[in-house]
Structure 1
């Protein structure tokens, strides 16, 4: 190797070391400048993950406790402490249990309360049960006019049958026409239209 090549090689090594040190200094400045922000970010992530774990564990424990209280209520429906506890742990589950008890006991007062429940499904079912059990054509009609109700077609058919019994064939016919075409009650509707409503 010639002296010139050695000098060029040493220059290149010095340049690469200089660049390495330059990057190290820049990195050190960056870390010093944003140290608190990076520590805060890591701390935030750790706290968020910890809070999520605690929340999930708490939610799981609440669900488990609500299920135990519900089991106790199934065994003893008159246990006031269990009712209060279930209502505080899971209002939705309490409404489901109350609905089942109202049906078993044919408790219209409980159904009236549940018809304004915040649990949409229970509110819907309780409203239908009230209208159905009272054989009230106005209530059934009002129920069937609501959007996205579960028993819409059943309420229409039931209302039509009540109207048929009152010999109001024209209104019964109108109710049956409101039943959706893809309803599982279409055979019943066809039979009522063919045999009962002429």
Structure 2
């Protein structure tokens, strides 16, 4: 059985990793373990680059703590402001001993009330909870779940990026 270390104890990140691996490699048996490791970036990454770095750092820090696993997965949610507003997304990085796979989720723009709170220095998850009257939404449906009325939850939102980050592992002969 191959061990996959997820660089978070957040059930959303553990579940999306499990689902992504099981869809890409349905005949392989895995053990999925969540661990708490630092991202070495700010609690609320404020750019594409910082968010990507956070995902890489999480995967590498998980690898340092659990060097005998088969895979290490870092998932980092972030935001980036441009002339259209503040976009939200996440980066997924999957490491093995000799390969890296990486992908970014799709992007969506945050509503003005959430943006206002972010500009006041409040992390997206907390801003989302305030605007939607929720508690700990980042461990559940997240902003994407709140904004879509639960039609698209944070787990499903991340699954596609996990699967795409696994492309180099599924196709090693061309990577």
TM range (shorter): under 0.3
Tell which has more relative contact order, 1 or 2 (C-alpha 8 A, sep 6+). Answer: 2
Using the size of structure 1 for normalisation, the TM-score is: 0.19
Structure number with higher strand proportion: 2
Structure number with higher helix proportion: 1
